[in-house]
């Protein structure tokens, strides 16, 4: 078993492709007859026996022509993959239970189109596409994200049976793919906005009412807090500054680990938090996130949502 796995590893080169773009060369393309191909061969054999038995010269010609077509189709099937260039892209984060889509940019440098290329991850549904001659196309390979965290979909299986379906050529490109999977949100009512847990430290965190100074901008800061006037007076290459506010925000919402049902497991509690983040974002309130390992200051907007969900997705992972 171990030997077999080693052999497979050697044959199929089951290591991630570091060098980009990935070019499908001879060494990486495998080809075997399909069931239809085996049937085709069996039918030709039976026909040949018939042609010999009845001395059908034209029958011989027909069988040999079909055999020739089959062999030519084998070469065509191989060439349908040969020389294809692949460049992996970044996958958008998804919630667990959704379909993650890994974009793969394909470049067809030859003068014929490549048709019926099927891409899939192991045990995942496949997606098929055609690439016209000398063009680029992008395929989004689906992967059903089950668990939160950083999803590594593994190698891609690229199959084609074009043109006649008698042979199946395949390759295992292994682009370095990763997709952030947020916990599956569980919708429960938002906790009360007056948060006891974070109440004591409220003044330490950025509020919205009283101007408290300037600090370099972070990605999660809303654009309307940028101190444009100050920024305009400074040289170009310094980071943007944002106004910092202290205290105040009665509508600041703290979504804290301690508010989630303590009798459930961690995954459930993370899901509850994720549900709150989504709901808070929909209601356009400012919210912060409190996790045992990390705190995210209250803010609002796309960046805040992403930052919170990112923290939830990777909670507890090294």
Partner 1 sequence: MNGVSSRPLEHGETPWLLAVALITGSPHAWHLPGWLSALCGGVLGWRLWLWHRRRALPPRWWLALLVAGSTAGIGWQFGTLLGRDAGVALLVVFMALKPLEMARRRDALVVIMLGYFLLLSHYFYSQSIPTGLWLLIAVALLTGTLIRLHGGAQPIVAIARLVGLLLAQALPLMLILYLFFPRISGPLWGLPQDAHSGLSGLSEQMAPGSISRLIQSSAIAFRSRFAGTLPERAALYWRGPVFDDYDGLTWRASTPSAGTPAKSPTIDALGETYAYTTLLEAHNQRWLLALDMPTALPAGAALAPSLQVLSSEPVRARAQFPFVAVLDYRANAMETTDILQKTLSLPANINPRTRALAEQWRSMPPEKIAATALALFEKENFYYTLQPPLLGQDGIDQFLFDTRRGFCEHYASAFVFLMRAAGVPARVVAGYQGGEVNPIDGYLTVRQSDAHAWAEIWLAGRGWQRIDPTAAVAPSRIARGIAAALPDSEPLPPLVRLESDWLREARNRWEAANNRWNQWVLGYNPQRQKEVLSKFGLPHPDWQRMSAVLAGLCGAVLAIVVLWTRPRRRADDPAQRLWKKYCAQLRRRGVNRAPWEGPTAFARRVASEKPSLAALTREAAAHYTALRYDRSDTERPRRLRLLENCLRRLPPSRRNDV
Shortest spacing between CB 172 and partner 1, in angstroms: 18
Residue 68 or residue 239: which is nearer to partner 1 going by CB?
Answer: 68
The residue count for the chain? 318
Question: Angle CA(77)–CA(79)–CA(84) in degrees, nearest 5?
Answer: 120
Axis-axis angle for helices 35-53, 57-81 (nearest 10): 160
Shortest spacing between CB 123 and partner 1, in angstroms: 12
What does the binding site for partner 1 look like in residue numbers (CB under 8 A)? 34-36, 39-40, 43-44, 47, 49-69, 71-73, 75-76, 78-79, 82-83, 109-113, 115-116, 130, 134, 161-166
Alpha helices (H) along 22-56: 35-53
91 neighbors 103 (Cβ within 8 angstroms): yes
**Taken in order 308, 313, 317, 318, is the CA torsion positive or negative?**
negative
Shortest spacing between CB 106 and partner 1, in angstroms: 13
Provide the CA 36 distance to its chain's centre, in angstroms: 33
Shortest spacing between CB 87 and partner 1, in angstroms: 13
Shortest spacing between CB 33 and partner 1, in angstroms: 11
Shortest spacing between CB 100 and partner 1, in angstroms: 22
Residue 62 or residue 314: which is nearer to partner 1 going by CB?
Answer: 62
Residue 60 or residue 202: which is nearer to partner 1 going by CB?
Answer: 60
Residue 108 or residue 271: which is nearer to partner 1 going by CB?
Answer: 108
Residue 73 or residue 151: which is nearer to partner 1 going by CB?
Answer: 73
Residue 56 or residue 140: which is nearer to partner 1 going by CB?
Answer: 56
Measured CA to CA, the distance from residue 235 to residue 216 in angstroms comes to 14
Residue 154 or residue 163: which is nearer to partner 1 going by CB?
Answer: 163
Shortest spacing between CB 234 and partner 1, in angstroms: 25
Q: What's the alpha-carbon Rg for the chain, to the nearest Å?
A: 29
**E-strand spans in the chain?**
22-23, 29-33, 85-88, 94-95, 99-108, 114-121, 127-131, 135-144, 149-151, 156-160, 167-171, 179-182, 206-207, 210-216, 241-246, 253-256, 287-291, 294-299
Q: Which two tokens stand for residue 92?
A: 């958008």
143 neighbors 151 (Cβ within 8 angstroms): yes
């Amino acid at each position: 078993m171990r030997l077999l796995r080693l052999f497979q590893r050697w044959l199929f080169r089951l290591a991630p492709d570091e060098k980009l773009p990935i070019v499908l060369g001879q060494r990486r393309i495998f080809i075997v007859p399909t069931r239809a191909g085996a049937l085709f061969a069996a039918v030709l054999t039976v026909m040949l026996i018939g042609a010999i038995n009845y001395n059908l010269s034209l029958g011989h010609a027909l069988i040999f022509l079909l055999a020739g077509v089959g062999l030519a189709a084998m070469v065509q099937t191989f060439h349908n993959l040969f020389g294809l260039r692949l460049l992996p892209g970044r996958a958008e984060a998804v919630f667990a239970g959704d379909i993650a889509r890994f974009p793969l940019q394909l470049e067809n440098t030859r003068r014929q189109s490549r048709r019926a290329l099927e891409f899939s991850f192991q045990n995942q549904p496949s997606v098929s596409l055609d690439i016209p001659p000398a063009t680029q196309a992008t395929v989004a390979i689906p992967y059903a994200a089950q668990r939160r965290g950083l999803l590594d979909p593994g190698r891609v299986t690229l199959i084609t049976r074009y043109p006649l379906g008698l042979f199946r050529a395949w390759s295992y490109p292994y682009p370095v793919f990763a997709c952030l999977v947020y916990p599956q949100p569980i919708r429960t009512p938002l906790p009360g906005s007056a948060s006891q847990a974070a109440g004591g430290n409220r003044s330490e965190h950025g509020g919205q009412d009283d101007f408290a100074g300037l600090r370099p901008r972070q990605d999660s800061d809303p654009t309307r807090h940028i101190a444009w006037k100050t920024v305009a007076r400074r040289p170009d290459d310094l980071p943007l500054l944002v106004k910092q506010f202290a205290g105040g925000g009665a509508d600041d919402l703290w979504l804290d680990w301690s508010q989630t049902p303590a009798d459930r497991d961690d995954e459930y509690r993370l899901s509850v938090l994720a549900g709150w983040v989504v709901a808070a974002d929909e209601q356009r309130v400012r919210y912060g996130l409190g996790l045992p390992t990390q705190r995210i200051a209250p803010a609002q907007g796309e960046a805040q949502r992403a930052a919170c969900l990112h923290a939830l997705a990777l909670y507890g992972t090294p």
